Amino acid sequence: MEENDSNRKVLLMGKNGAGKTSMRSIIFANFLPKDTMRLGFTIAINESRIRFLGTLCLALWDCGGQDHFMQHYFESQRDTLFRSVQVLIYVFDIKSDDQRDMKYYKSCVEAIKEHSPTARIFVLIHKMDLIPLEKRSETYSKKEREVYQNSESLNVVCFGTSIWDETLYLAWSKIVNYMIPNSEMLSQSLKKFCVACEADEVVLFEKSTFLVISSYSAKEHRDTHRFEKISNIIKLFKLSCSKAAARFKSMTVANSNFCAFIDEFTSSTYIMLVSSDSSVQPALTQMNIGIAKKHFEGIVKASTVSQ
């Protein structure tokens, strides 16, 4: 594959049945969570190219996790597979106690260390919904500790995830954000815009995945996972629109405490603007969004190339 700057190689690995194809299909191919029950095994490696924010190109390598494939990855394919990797995502099924799983993880880490020492490793401890709520944080911490112990002192970030709630969006937003080289510029511009509109907060979502790209909050909010919840809510609604052969364009939701706008923004993003100040006129806000569109088109583009 060609390796220019905007081409990012992402390895998605983990034992078979861990949920790799499920999450990829939900985030990038608009599957409903319940549709994933119909997915078959991934045979060997499924490489998909994903355009993101217009100009970023992710090459996502979904590596089937059956034992004989795994063996191949670490032996005959080791040099090609683990070379020039930007991000490794390793998925653990929290319900599986298979000892080989940790062994495979360790082998991955070693291979990465050797062939792509600058790569970032994300570990998703998946299917957390299967653990009763009261045991979740304890079970997660235990697994996380085990992961760190096997990470060869590389810089690894762990997330607990489930396809049934917003945790999936939280993890993938963080992963994708890591791949946007110039996101600082974006968040600065967003801050200015938020202040100019007198809004409580402004959030930028990628258009097709609805992953959070950037945000600015002028006010504190009790719920730290709210943006990912919004991603999840909108993504599900987008799917119900497609059943009616339509595409969702924009949305306003309000009650006596708030007003939220979600609207198409630049060619690759949606914007959400939340305000709790009832003196801010909805029509004015919509006009502001309209004016800012052009300006942000360039900023979003610029944020995807490193300086």
Partner 1 sequence: MQIALLGTKKVGKSSILKVVFQKMSPNETLFIDSTSRIEEIKVENNPYTKYTFVDFPGSFEVSQINTQDRKILSKCAMIIYILDAQDQPYNKPLEKFINIVTEVHSFNPDCMFEMFIHKIDGDMFVTEDLKLEAQNGVSYLLKADIQERKLPEPGFFLTSIYDLSIFEALSKILIKVSPQVNYIQNMLDNLMNYCRIDKVYLFDVINKLYIATDSTPVDLISYELCADMIDVVIDVSCIYGISGNDNVASAFDRKSTSVIKLDSGLTLYLREIEHMLALVCLVKEDNFDRQNLIDYNIDIFKDGVKQIFQAHEKLLKSEENKS
Ligand X SMILES: Nc1nc2c(ncn2[C@@H]2O[C@H](COP(=O)(O)OP(=O)(O)O)[C@@H](O)[C@H]2O)c(=O)[nH]1
The reply on whether position 32 binds ligand X by CB under 6 A is no
Task: Give the span between the Cα atoms of 269 and 205, in whole angstroms.
Answer: 5
CA–CA separation, 28 vs 208, rounded Å?
8
Phi, psi of 55 (to 5 degrees): -110, -25
Question: Is the Cβ of residue 125 or residue 156 nearer to ligand X in the bound state?
Answer: 125
The count of residues interacting with ligand X (CB under 6 A) is 20
CA quadruple 33, 35, 41, 42: dihedral, nearest 10 = -70
Alpha-carbon gap, residue 177 to 21, rounded angstroms:
21
Positions touching partner 1 (CB under 8 A) are 222-223, 226, 229-230, 233-234, 236-237, 240-241, 243-258, 260, 274, 276
Q: Tell me the one-letter amino acid at 223.
A: D
> Do β-strands 156-160 and 120-126 pair in parallel, antiparallel, or remain unpaired?
parallel
Q: Which does 127 bind (CB under 5 to 8 A by kind): partner 1, ligand X, none?
A: ligand X
If the CB atoms of residues 136 and 226 are measured against partner 1, the closer one turns out to be: 226
CA 159/CA 144 separation, integer angstroms: 9
Binding mask 126-155 for ligand X (x = CB under 6 A): xx-xx-------------------------
x-or-dash pattern for ligand X, window 161-190, by CB under 6 A? -xxx--------------------------
Per partner kind, with CB cut-offs from 5 to 8 A, the member of partner 1, ligand X, none near residue 240 is partner 1
- The span from the CA of 105 to the CA of 13, in Å, is 9
CB of 77 to partner 1, least distance (A): 38
37 touching ligand X, by CB under 6 A:
yes
- Integer Rg of the chain from CA: 20
86 in Cβ contact with 9 (< 8 Å): yes
The distance of closest approach from Cβ of residue 238 to partner 1 in the complex, given in angstroms and rounded to an integer, is 10
> Of the candidates 6, 7, 17, 218, which one interacts with ligand X according to CB under 6 A?
17
Name the token pair of 174: 């963080």
Which of partner 1, ligand X, none does residue 256 bind (CB under 5 to 8 Å by kind)?
A: partner 1
- Residue type at 32? L
Binding partner at 208 among partner 1, ligand X, none, C-beta below 5 to 8 Å by kind: none
| Smallest distance, ligand X to C-beta of residue 12, A | 8
Q: Which amino acid, 28?
A: F
Q: How far is the CB of 224 from partner 1 (least distance, A)?
A: 11
Q: How far is the CB of 291 from ligand X (least distance, A)?
A: 41
Considering only 16, 139, 183, 187, the residue that binds ligand X (CB under 6 A) is 16
Q: What are the residues facing 272 on neighbouring strands?
A: 203, 262
**What residues have CB less than 8 Å from 85, skipping those under 6 apart?**
9, 10, 11, 112, 115, 116, 119
- Alpha-carbon distance 78 to 179, whole Å? 24
DSSP letter for 150, please: T
Looking at beta carbons only, is 62 or 201 nearer to ligand X? 62
Give the residues lining the site for ligand X (CB under 6 A): 14, 16-22, 36-37, 39, 42, 65, 126-127, 129-130, 162-164
